[in-house]
Structure 1
Amino acid sequence: MTVRNLDALFRPKSVAVIGASQRPGSVGAMVWKRLTEDAFTGPIWAVNPKYDTLDGHKAFGDVGDFPEPPTVAIVCTRPATWPSIIHRLGGHGTRAAIIVGETRGDEDRVHLKHALSAARPHLLRIVGPASLGVITPALHAHLGAPACTVKPGGVAWVSQSNALTNAVLGWAAARGLGFSHAVALGDEADVDAGDVLDYLASDAGTRAILLEVDTIHAARKFMSAARAAARNKPVLALRSGRGDPADGLYTAAFRRAGMVRVDSLDDLLDEIETLGVGRVATSSAATLITSDRGVAALACDAFHAAGDTLAPSSQQNAKAMSDALPRVTPGNPLLLGGDALPEHFGAALKVLADQHESGTAFVVHASTHRAPAEEVARVLIAHQRYAYRGLLACFFGGISLATRDALHQQGIPVHSTPQRLARAFARLVDYRLGRELLMQTPEGLPARVPQAIDAAQAQASAALKAGITELDGDAAAQLLAHYGLVALPAQRATEPAIVEVKIELRDDANFGPVFRFIAPSEDGIAPPLCVYGLPPLNPILARDIVSKSAYARYTDPEPVLAALTSVSQAVCDIREIVGLSLALRVMKDRVAVIEPHIRLSSTRSRFAIVPYPRRYEQTFDWHGQRLTVRPIRPEDEDAHRELIGAMTPDDLRLRFFGAVRGFDHSQLARMTQIDYDREMALIATVPHDDGSTHTLGVVRAVSDPDNETAEFATAVRSDQKGRGLGRLLMQRIIAYARERGTHWLVGEALRENAAMIGLAKACGFTVTSTDDPGVVGFRLALDEPEQ
């Protein structure tokens, strides 16, 4: 399960507390008090046979006595009661439960197992056990026992720790900060971090997600959900245990998902201020504005220590600033002078608005007699509209609560020191750069002849059939040679090497196959470089790994990138490879493999990130051409741009439900860089004479996280219409969805799109009306036998 029925947790309409009590100190009393104190607007019911009423609310003796099924039930009773309670709640129609109690022994764990079994037939979701609760402040829904009442805000908090959740909620409350949702996952017997990330990725009220995890369960689901969330909004992750041998793997997983890892709880708390109040940075640089030279020096030191970049200050900028503020010292930092007045800060923001290279505005101010902090704050609020690349403030000595709240209401984060402000900004920049890394188009995988891939797979299969599970020397070299990797006997490696990088593949119990790359330190004093990578790799991802090595500046990177990508492709293509070790000898302009060793097995764990699914490739004759239908790849971006450019304006309007002039890189990247675990786009291509390919059409299906329903869309070049290509692609996406176990395939089209409606009917879809009279819907049951 994933997001099924999670809306019941985050948008409850009615709540029941099983085991509600008035006994001081009891869990039932704490849960009941928190729910009633915050005045949840929907019906709330208490279940405890000892009471007729509880604080003016009717109490019931049994979970079957409710006048209607509660959306959510909070279970505060002992483990032995859980199975029967969950069974009756599920049968009554409740769709979610939060178990507050803990499992303390084998007997309790047996009760939990039976409770999960009782929930499954009803699709009832369980948070916990040992969960502090699920909080949605905007609905006054404190479902659990948090230590304080939580204000509404724009940041979601998700944690595996009850104690840390209570601490963070209390810290935020003391600073007037709030949350869109706060979730204490507990033991994650059912609902886990991946499920919650999946839900929050599309939650309109959540601008950013702060995640605290110790261990990731169900790595593939987590990675898929995290990548989807990070494409939409900042996701920051905190994991303790830097000394844990697996910690480097978590760092690689977070980065691969587009998340930003923070180093401390302080850093994560600062982001509640920055992300919950302000906008995400749209620039990688900033301009410091202050009145005092000493303050400017401290702020510059903090900025440089955080790895940030001061924006350049042009002569045009300096002149405009001098004209507006004759006593200013222009540049970056921008010094307004010790006698600056509050209005000078506003004038500086107004001038910077026209200087596009100035980046985000940092106002760092120590209160003076001529410019008290409260008055400067009021000027910032009045001029905030000019800082459209973002505005962050730091007031030495603090400000009043009323002033702080006023700044918050205008979307201006306030930090207590320049160091905290600079680090908070640096993490926003890290998110933006990480997201760009996800959206970059690879230079292209090394061309592999299908026959060579088939030959490599045949070699691995034949070895296993003969009882051979280890390939060394010539046998390993022969297999790798199919992927363009040249192996060199160690005794013949006479050419001076810049460095030898050790590459290992191991099958991690959680993340599946993972790479570890080890390079010696450059000076022999620093520790060796050791980084992890999750396959599949492409040249962009390989470059991100290589750039961490001090040796990167000594060699042409392209041969190294090609080699790392080729090793990854071999591992992805040949499912029999469960282990690998080799040394990559890096010379000035080429690389060679030394001492390769490959371990084979008939079974291997699943990849945390689904690699390119080559099994869906098909090539056949079609209207006198060799047509290939295959899954889309990131390097298809240029061909996809050409496909859209070859469609008439009217065809584009019918496909995208409005006038479309074209798509930028980020939009095309989203179309071509897909998560094969939950999305598929099949393209039809024909070869050009120059060896490039020409995309004639595309069909895609995006499934919901539960794989209940997938939504399809298709597009064909305008000059290829009427040749049956649309139907050919539709038949293949239907077969794909049916094979994947999806229950329904659905879609929509403008009512005037007669061609699409006719195609849908021909493929077996039922055509239905929608809420929009100009749009029709399509629906196909994939569980029914094919006609």
Structure 2
Amino acid sequence: MTVRNLDALFKPESVAVIGASSRAGSLGAIVWERVLAGGFNGPVWPVNPKYDELDGGIVFADAGDLLEAPSVALVCTPSATWVDIVGKLGRLGTRAVIIVADARRDHAADPAVVQATLAAARPHLLRIVGPASVGVVTPALRAYLGAPPYLVKHGGVAWVSQSNALTNAVLGWADARGLGFSHAIALGDEIDVDAGDVLDYLASDSATRAILLELNTVRSARKFMSAARAAARNKPVLVLRTGRGDANDALYTAAFRRAGMVRVDSLDDLLDEIETLGVGRIAASSTATLVTSDRGVASLATDAFAAAGGMLAQWSDETVRTLAGALPHVSPGNPLLLGDDARPEDFRRALEALAPRGDTGTAFVIHSTTHGAPVEEVARVVIDCQCIAYRGMLACFFGGLETATRDALRARGIAVHPTPQRLARAFTRLVDYRLGRELLMQTPQGLPARIPAAIEAAQAYAAAALAEDGRAFLADEAAVRLLEPFALPVRADNEPCPSDTIVDIAVELHDDAEFGPVFRFAAPPVDGISAPFVFYGLPPLNPTLAREVLSRSPYAHRVPIDPVLSVLTALSDAICVIEQIAGFTASLRIAPARVDLRSPQIRLAPKRGRLAIVPYPRRLEQTIEWRGMHLTIRPIRPEDEPAHSAFAAAMSPEDLRMRFFGAVRGFDHSQLARMTQIDYDREMAFIATAADANGAMETLGVVRAVADPDNESAEFAVAVRSDMKGKGLGRLLMERIIDYARARGTRVITGEILRENAPMLALARARGFEMHASEDPAVISVRFPLQ
């Protein structure tokens, strides 16, 4: 997982077009013309040995002849030239290449050429997009790098796609509606930069408010899940997956949900989110109040909202009285029906009365023009009231709006949809995102530092079974023995079936080629006719995550919840702890008074795929006596967010500046979530905690390290609460992260320290870090070899 040099793609300072041409219709001409037409305000250099001059500028004969390294180079030449071009650009210092050319149309192309191109890029850390990418678009910089057919506006939504055709279509759709993007990227063949890399970059991109992702397959599932979870913690990520009919589609749905992404069913829905997320703000409520004038429109909107799975707000008696006082001629209710003779001022009074009432949810204004209330005048009322709509506002105006009015609504953050159905679906997707983000807070526990003897015995039993023939199949008593430490209610299949059995659910674990170990559940149809209901779960699970998996079953409201969650969680623990379990089948028999796991069969293998999500590494927790207190040093968890906020607040402005290289007033939820909700496979943050005078645990210090994808190096940073400075806590935390990185196999640990931060520099020097100048004269780079 790396975002290294992706800033060259999304924030380029200079561009070279390799193969730039004046030959009409050629790829080199299309790319060259598009870069010029976009109006990129940095240097643009054409490279082609066939020209001396192009559009009034000097043409370089060879990539190696460029006088300086372009941030990004666009390659429009045959695949036979790629290795040489990439090598020269890498040596020059170019950080990114977009291969617009399509190797599949090049008869000289060979898979070996692609691998050789990657090999030429790797020593220089040069990133490659493509081949066969339509390009990367950043409208704010007027950077149209590739062959996109439209010049679109700047907006708050990023588009990421594996399809050139869909990217072109979406750019055209947005252009026709006056909508824009923060970035748009067509990934092409993803030989290097893939969806996971881009999601990881966009997660921290301040210009991107939301991400729309279109894909068919996921490459490197753990990397993708890690990046998606990081992005979804900060902003909505909506995903459209083509290939609904394939066997793995339900697995993708489960993976998307676990990553906090919202899946949409159609391109229309995804396009609607360019309006909702690029213009509006995330709804702060899960319910809504509909405001309209016409009874027929009210009925249509109510049906649309119900069909989309939304909930109308239930008003309190106090709210009813408030609305009755503000609009005495209207019968208060949801939908709030203002009547056919409603005037714009009636909409104003309604919105003003609704605004302070927390039980009314998000305001939906749905209106079709009337003689008394033209849509343009009602729209102006909506704009005026936007500042008091604390839980958000969305609008639907039948018949459309004048462009100026539409743009004015968007400028105030009010998304507008043409029909109630599309508005309702857009809102429920925002609600889904809010609920999905709650699942990201869940961190199932791993093994403790001291493994219980019973679990050690089970691990040894699995290893011994494998040692006999290299692959083992366990059934009956052998399977029961392996599962015994996890307190699973395993029953023999010949035991009588309870007469009150609710359902038998087939449980299977298989080692997916992309996502690693995954659970597959198959429940019989409720009607006895339809196909079995199949749903997936990705271990590790805890009771909350298991409940979310169970909620997708049609039997969710008929089974005893706690016993089922207990079995699913224990089964997940067994799978995570005994890494030789590569396959598992059983029947989960559920009755009102008991839940049994029947006929377990286990397949062992010496190696299986990695879990797509890493559990909380409980084994790394440590409690020590330090300066008269019980000090716990452990990995950070999502529930540490309040304590981490208090920790930052207790640091002096100067200490914060030293740590973050600039003035910091505080951190919002999104920033704190990024600090506390980490992926333990890609980074680590240890916090030092102790009990305060009231017995509550408080954070005293934190140290972080983020490794590169090859685990060659990890960058660290340490911060200690201001009143704890000078006591040795910083050194203690530094030693902890060094030991962790060394045990993980990282070769070198690095950091950057402000030159004026004398105490931190002294600590690094005393520990044996090498000191080096950096590109910024105010910053010292430090380096410590580990292996």
Q: TM-score, normalised to structure 2's length?
A: 0.89
Q: Distance in 1 between matches of 2:95 and 2:645?
A: 43
Where does 1:405-416 land on structure 2 (aligned, <5 Å)?
405-416=407-418
Contact 1:439/1:670 (8 A) holds in 2: no
Q: Distance in 2 between matches of 1:2 and 1:781?
A: 20
1:107, CA displacement in angstroms? 3.4
Q: Distance in 2 between matches of 1:397 and 1:476?
A: 66
Alignment correspondent of 1:744: 749
Contact 1:44/1:57 (8 A) holds in 2: no
1:233-290 deviations in Å (ceiling 9; x for gaps): 0000000111100111110111110000000000001001111111111111111111
Contact 2:31/2:147 (8 A) holds in 1: yes
1:268 aligns with 2:270: yes
Taking only the aligned residue pairs, the percentage that are identical comes to 60
Alignment correspondent of 2:173: 171
Q: Distance in 2 between matches of 1:280 and 1:61?
A: 51
1:372-419 deviations in Å (ceiling 9; x for gaps): 111211222222212122111111111122221222122111111000
Where does 1:588-607 land on structure 2 (aligned, <5 Å)?
588-607=592-611
Alignment correspondent of 2:20: 20
Q: Determine which of 506, 512, 524 is the counterpart of 1:508.
A: 512
SS at match of 1:485: coil
1:718, CA displacement in angstroms? 8.5
Q: Distance in 2 between matches of 1:300 and 1:662?
A: 42
Q: Distance in 2 between matches of 1:5 and 1:91?
A: 15
Alignment correspondent of 2:717: 712
1:734 aligns with 2:752: no
1:186-213 deviations in Å (ceiling 9; x for gaps): 0111110001001100000000000000
Q: Distance in 1 between matches of 2:311 and 2:755?
A: 48
Q: Which amino acid aligns with 1:186?
A: G
Cα separation, partners in 2 of 1:26 and 1:443, compared to 1, 3 Å? closer
Contact 1:764/1:780 (8 A) holds in 2: no
Contact 2:492/2:598 (8 A) holds in 1: yes
Alignment correspondent of 2:557: 553
1:565 aligns with 2:569: yes
Q: Which amino acid aligns with 1:116?
A: L
Alignment correspondent of 2:64: 64
SS at match of 2:223: helix
Alignment correspondent of 2:365: 363
1:447-506 deviations in Å (ceiling 9; x for gaps): 996222211111111111222611111111111111111321111244343322222111
1:300 aligns with 2:305: no
Cα separation, partners in 2 of 1:471 and 1:442, compared to 1, 3 Å? closer
Q: Distance in 1 between matches of 2:237 and 2:160?
A: 11
Alignment correspondent of 2:706: 703
1:159 aligns with 2:151: no
Q: Distance in 1 between matches of 2:445 and 2:635?
A: 18
1:782, CA displacement in angstroms? 3.3
Cα separation, partners in 2 of 1:273 and 1:704, compared to 1, 3 Å? farther
1:322, CA displacement in angstroms? 3.2
SS at match of 1:674: coil
Q: Which amino acid aligns with 2:47?
A: V
Q: Distance in 2 between matches of 1:141 and 1:499?
A: 58
Contact 1:132/1:146 (8 A) holds in 2: yes
Contact 2:444/2:541 (8 A) holds in 1: no
1:333 aligns with 2:338: no
Alignment correspondent of 2:395: 393
1:611 aligns with 2:650: no
Q: Distance in 2 between matches of 1:704 and 1:547?
A: 36
Q: Which amino acid aligns with 1:250?
A: Y
Cα separation, partners in 2 of 1:626 and 1:208, compared to 1, 3 Å? closer
SS at match of 1:550: coil
Runs of at least 5 residues in structure 1 that lack an aligned partner in the other structure? none
Alignment correspondent of 1:73: 73
1:116-171 deviations in Å (ceiling 9; x for gaps): 21111111111111100000000000001111111110000000000111001000
SS at match of 1:554: coil
Alignment correspondent of 2:522: 518
Contact 2:443/2:637 (8 A) holds in 1: no
Alignment correspondent of 2:429: 427
1:481 aligns with 2:484: yes
Q: Distance in 2 between matches of 1:589 and 1:111?
A: 63
Q: Which amino acid aligns with 2:590?
A: V
Q: Which amino acid aligns with 2:558?
A: Y
Contact 1:155/1:206 (8 A) holds in 2: yes
Where does 1:232-243 land on structure 2 (aligned, <5 Å)?
232-243=234-245
Cα separation, partners in 2 of 1:99 and 1:667, compared to 1, 3 Å? closer
1:491 aligns with 2:494: yes
Contact 1:103/1:109 (8 A) holds in 2: no
Q: Which amino acid aligns with 1:6?
A: L
Contact 2:769/2:784 (8 A) holds in 1: no
1:352 aligns with 2:319: no
Q: Distance in 1 between matches of 2:219 and 2:680?
A: 20
Alignment correspondent of 2:190: 188
Q: Distance in 1 between matches of 2:183 and 2:17?
A: 20
Contact 1:198/1:225 (8 A) holds in 2: yes
Contact 1:579/1:599 (8 A) holds in 2: yes
1:522, CA displacement in angstroms? 2.7
1:11 aligns with 2:14: no
1:604, CA displacement in angstroms? 1.5
> Higher mean Cα deviation, 86-95 or 544-553?
544-553
Q: Distance in 1 between matches of 2:277 and 2:365?
A: 17
Q: Distance in 2 between matches of 1:343 and 1:415?
A: 22
Q: Which amino acid aligns with 1:262?
A: V
Q: Distance in 2 between matches of 1:624 and 1:387?
A: 52
Q: Distance in 1 between matches of 2:189 and 2:285?
A: 39
Q: Distance in 1 between matches of 2:319 and 2:773?
A: 57
Cα separation, partners in 2 of 1:206 and 1:726, compared to 1, 3 Å? closer
Contact 2:11/2:141 (8 A) holds in 1: yes
Runs of at least 5 residues in structure 2 that lack an aligned partner in the other structure? none
> Higher mean Cα deviation, 141-150 or 318-327?
318-327
Contact 1:679/1:700 (8 A) holds in 2: no
Q: Which amino acid aligns with 1:10?
A: F
Contact 1:738/1:782 (8 A) holds in 2: no
Contact 1:655/1:749 (8 A) holds in 2: no
Contact 2:234/2:673 (8 A) holds in 1: no
SS at match of 2:536: strand
Q: Distance in 2 between matches of 1:187 and 1:763?
A: 45
> Higher mean Cα deviation, 37-46 or 383-392?
383-392
Alignment correspondent of 1:382: 384
Q: Distance in 1 between matches of 2:188 and 2:656?
A: 43
Q: Which amino acid aligns with 1:423?
A: R
Q: TM-score, normalised to structure 1's length?
A: 0.89
Alignment correspondent of 2:34: 34
Alignment correspondent of 1:472: 475
Contact 2:714/2:741 (8 A) holds in 1: no
